[in-house]
Structure 1
Amino acid sequence: MPIFEALMRARRDILARIAALDSRIRSIAKRHAAVRLLMTAPGVGPITAMAVVAAFDDASRFRRSSSVGAYLGLTPRRYESGEISRNGRVSKRGDGFTRKCLFEAANAIFCRNLGGPRLRDWAKAIAERTGPRKAKVALARKLAVTLHAMWRTNTPFREVVMA
């Protein structure tokens, strides 16, 4: 019984520490305008928004938002030799933590009902052709491009609804 009580006490202490750290992260996110702006996108929480802001450093760093996917390693590798030209796996260049956060945000959009029905429908259409994992990576890249464009233009996320 003493071992069980010690384990329960350790678990309680860890959960309290996690709650304290989570509170600090949320308070930092509230004070940073760019992080608050990026959190308006579906699936993007304070950690993902902070990771994106830290990875991009400055919104004007990239001339085009479409370059962001390649910077984070969310584009396929290319193999070209003579007459052969094919796409490979994701290049995994750039900040791995930011890439993981964006993938988790894409997973949340894909699997749960978190706003952005057009994003989810777009990813589901890709999943039918290539599989869910590739669709989530494509959605993560699209999310990175969208977040950069939002930051650059200083506009919150809004999904255009087609009639």
Structure 2
Amino acid sequence: MLKSIPGVGPLTAATIVAEIGDIKRFPSVKQLTAFAVLDSSVYQSGTFKSNQNHISKRGSSYLRTALYQATVAGISKQVNGPRNEVLSRYYQQKLSEGKASKVAIVATSNKLLRIIFGVWRSETPFRIN
């Protein structure tokens, strides 16, 4: 199922499946995002709340790396255009919002993880609609 997503190859799909395990242990995509450590860390003290948070580094670095690599492969330009049009549009939107390149890639990795969750839970191949 995961190999139907452009940018996710056989090795990346195997890594993602191995690191996540059973998808049914995550009732929501928010919990999967926290497990994959693509959520931002919270830094606050008293009434102060930081607005420049980084992703937290706890959790599986293998999963984070696999998602990052799949995202870069998905947004890469081919002769006929980007490999994954959905990820490419989202990445370009983040760049146009003024995000740095790596910040936009991490945000797009989060989008890819949500796509993976939907494809895996519904057990249907990825389709661009």
TM-score range, shorter chain: 0.7 to 0.9
Q: 1:120 aligns with which of 88, 103, 111?
A: 88
Q: 2:110 aligns with which of 141, 145, 160?
A: 141
Pairwise CA RMSD: 1.4
Please say if residues 72 and 92 of structure 1, whose CA atoms lie closer than 8 Å, have aligned partners that are also in contact.
no
Q: Which has the higher contact order (CA 8 A, sep 6+)?
A: 2
Range that drifts further, 84-93 or 100-109: 84-93
Distance 1:68 1:112 in 2: 28
Please say if residues 19 and 62 of structure 2, whose CA atoms lie closer than 8 Å, have aligned partners that are also in contact.
no
Which structure: greater helix fraction? 1
Distance 2:93 2:21 in 1: 33
**How many Å apart are 1:124 and its aligned residue?**
1.1
Q: Percent identity?
A: 31
Amino acid at match of 1:78: V
Distance 1:67 1:84 in 2: 26
Q: Which runs of 5+ in 2 are unaligned?
A: none
Aligned length: 124
1:67 counterpart = 2:36: no
Deviation track 1:67-111 (CA, whole Å, cap 9, x = no partner) reads 212111111111011222124111122211111011011112223
Q: Which runs of 5+ in 1 are unaligned?
A: 1-36
Distance 1:66 1:112 in 2: 30
Higher Rg: 1
Alignment of 1:42-57 (within 5 A): 42-57=6-21
TM-score, normalization by structure 2: 0.87
Distance 2:31 2:77 in 1: 28
TM-score, normalization by structure 1: 0.70
3-state DSSP class of the match of 1:71?
Answer: helix
Distance 2:111 2:67 in 1: 10
